[in-house]
Amino acid sequence: MYRPEYLERIQGTDSQPNISGKQSFSVDDIKQSQILEYGVFNLFSQISKQIGIEAVVKDVFPDLWESVLSLAFFIVATGEPAMYCEDWIAKNESYDCGSMSSQRISELLIKITHGQRIYFYEKWGHFRNEQEYFALDITSVSSYSELINDVEWGYNRDKEKLPQVNICMLLGEKSKLPVFQAVYSGSLKDVSTLKTTLETTSHLNLHNMSIVMDKGFCSTKNINVMCKKDEGVRFLIAMPFSHKFAKQQVEREKNGLNSVDNTITIGSEIIRGITRKRSWNTNTELFVHIFLNAEQAEHEKNKLYGYVSNLRDEAMLNPEDTKKAKEFRKYLVLPKNGEVDCGVKIRYDVLENELKTAGWLVCVSNHVETAKEAIQLYRAKDVVEKGFLHLKNCLDLARLRVHSDNAMQNKIFIGFIALIFTAYIHKVMLEHDLYRTMTMKKLLKALERLRVQYIKGNRILFPLTKTQKTIFDAFGLSESCR
């Protein structure tokens, strides 16, 4: 059933313009016409031009660019396995890339070479060469395949009992767009990949690059590498309290930090923060940013106290509980055989030691000079974490359903391109407050309902709803663009 306003656009008995100047068609013309969905493809194709990804992909893959982008569009639009891409292409207005059957996609994942991937990162990094900070992080992606060399057992961030590969990604904290990724052996730890990643990204020509990193990357060796004048990089990195240097900073500032002079407001959150310039080694001084979140410290304290209090009650009822024996020994002193009137005692020294760093954060940098700037940059790092969440949960890459190294690398590569679109959509939705009325999935569903009809070579668009107009306005889309 056509909407009245749509029928008005195609009314008439032949293919000649009617008296209102509009093209008119016969009933047979309409019966022989083709109706396709065009809203989602219209969004992706115009975004690809806006952010420059289409030009880069065309240059790198002159014979494959339509297939590469179409597969990336499908991944973002549906999150379904690639085997369903053919059906999606058939019902959507799209590039002229053929059927995109499972066989065609398998061939595509073999054709893309390592050199082309590197050339893409060079071109994309150069094109997106904005003066901004970049967030660096690593995630694990599990696989059932026994034929991929980099799939190895290692620390699995999702706590899955499967071998994995590690994906290291660099994202812009201003543009919110992925810039580079590399795939490493699943057995490597975060600290082992930093130097290799920095060497690999050196050819991207990212001027004034500064990397923001979490505690997983922190080691004395990594900081020394980043501090080297000949091959160093500007950085801001959080330190774990397993590092002696971080503990020393808290000890030096714990009595004087909690004052109004050191108060920093970030949105609705109020914390304390101070910056000191401290010697790192004989040749280097670093800006050390020390923060205290009093609310978080109190929360951790209450959580620990509640846990130990319940543990004591359990020990009094059943001190021989083998499942709890390790925790009993850690936090409690149990009465020994023959001791009279010696109840279960709490090891307060253990509690005090655990709470020494509760609510505290220490970051070091070779260029960020103020505590407020440091905490704002560090908090903005969640863009990379959200990026990984989209990559694994929304883009059908939580399992690598491929059986060769090159195919695995290329599926992750296509996922990277898909993530660029996901990240840009997320950025625009935040900027225009679209999340107040819809999720990203609902946004794409709203655009799926847009139709285009081809009648005797004429391309006729169905009218936009209010919601669709809101989306088009937010993304600066043209209704008639292909």
* Predicted confidence pLDDT, tens digits, the chain (482 residues): 334 344 344 443 334 444 344 567 666 666 666 678 889 999 999 999 999 999 999 999 999 999 999 999 998 888 777 788 889 988 888 888 888 888 888 888 889 998 999 899 888 887 876 656 777 766 555 443 343 333 333 344 444 444 555 667 777 777 778 888 777 654 455 455 676 777 767 666 665 567 888 887 788 988 988 887 665 678 889 999 999 999 999 999 989 898 899 999 876 789 999 999 999 987 889 999 999 999 999 999 999 999 999 999 999 988 888 899 999 999 999 887 655 456 889 999 999 999 999 999 999 999 899 999 899 888 776 655 665 566 555 444 444 454 456 777 788 888 889 888 988 898 899 889 998 999 988 999 999 988 887 777 677 778 889 999 999 999 998 865 54
- 382's CB contacts (< 8 A; 6+ apart) are none
Q: What pLDDT shows up at residue 455?
A: 76
* Residue 270 structure tokens: 């109020």
* Residue 276 structure tokens: 């000191």
* Residue 313 structure tokens: 């009650």
| Phi and psi at residue 454, to the nearest 5° | -105, 115
Helix axes 405-431 and 440-448, enclosed angle (nearest 10): 90
Determine the 3-state secondary structure of 399 from DSSP. strand
Determine the 3-state secondary structure of 61 from DSSP. coil
Is the full-model pTM beyond 0.75?
A: no
Closest C-alpha among 46, 6, 5 to residue 474: 46
Q: What pLDDT shows up at residue 4?
A: 39
Q: Give the DSSP H/E element, type plus range, for residue 45.
A: helix 39-50
Q: What pLDDT shows up at residue 138?
A: 63
Q: Give the DSSP H/E element, type plus range, for residue 133.
A: strand 133-142
Q: What pLDDT shows up at residue 191?
A: 55
Q: What pLDDT shows up at residue 6?
A: 40
Q: Using DSSP bridges, classify how beta strands 263-266 and 234-238 pair: parallel, antiparallel or unpaired.
A: unpaired
Are 300 and 355 contacting, i.e. CB atoms less than 8 angstroms apart?
yes
In degrees to the nearest 10, what's the CA dihedral of 330, 332, 338, 340? 170
Q: Give the DSSP H/E element, type plus range, for residue 136.
A: strand 133-142
How far from the centroid of its chain's Cα atoms is residue 358's Cα? 27
Strand partners, 270: 265
Q: What pLDDT shows up at residue 45?
A: 93
Strand partners, 292: 272, 360
How far from the centroid of its chain's Cα atoms is residue 371's Cα? 25
Q: What's at 135, amino acid-wise?
A: A
Determine the 3-state secondary structure of 152 from DSSP. strand
Token pair 């396709």 in the structure block, residue:
36
- 345's CB contacts (< 8 A; 6+ apart) are 332, 333
Q: What pLDDT shows up at residue 348?
A: 95
The CA–CA distances, whole Å, from 445 to 222, 465, 470 equal 45, 13, 14
